[in-house]
Amino acid sequence: MTEPLKIGVLLSGSGTNLQAIIDAVRDDGLPVDIVHVVSSRPDAYGIERAKAAGIPTTVLNREVYADPEAADARIVEALRAAGAIYVVMAGYMRKVTPVMLNAFPDRVLNLHPALLPSFKGAHAIAEAYEAGVKVTGVTVHFANEDYDKGPIVAQRAVEVQEGWTLEELEAAIHEVEHALYPQVLCLVAEGRVTVGDDRKVHVA
């Protein structure tokens, strides 16, 4: 049996990726223990999902992020106190600082709704849609100080169907996210993911 990987989850919104991880733990035996959830916004519905699953939460607000490094120090303290080994960003709309990255070196995962390095930033799905690409997708990568540029762990493509609306593309992207993120966490929990000296991810 794989020892459960203790993770802290950072979110800013509805928390559907948090829910996907919770469901995978409960239904599929994903070897992960979500020890703490941090929300950057007090109105994020993801807080309710965490509470429903009995997961402790820390809720921050815009005033706290006036000093981003102080905010990250507070998050690091909460996650370490909870025993988190990995940090999992799931719809977290704040850029992490070196305070977080140094506390969890190569252990901060992020999910991006495009095939990096294409369509970086907060509007990736809409930008891909407007560009008329025929294939986009989802990337899981390790966060670093360069926004959406850390070592890539996994990617999955989504073919854009003729006539799709932006909303239909968003739904397809989210469906892939909800499947891919738990799969990556399983690989991490099994000790199969490493970052080499070449700063590329290798999966055993």
Q: What is the pLDDT of residues 47-80, one digit of tens each?
A: 999 999 999 999 999 999 999 999 999 999 999 9
Residues, the chain, total?
204
Range 181-198 average pLDDT: 96
Q: What is the pLDDT of residue 1?
A: 63
Q: Give the pLDDT score at 113.
A: 97
Q: Among all residues, which ones are annotated catalytic?
A: 112
CB-CB contact of 24 with 104 (8 Å):
no
**pLDDT above 90 (res 187):** yes
The first and second tokens of residue 112, run together, are 């991006």
Query: What pTM was computed for the model?
Result: 0.95
What is the maximal distance between C-alpha atoms in the chain? 49
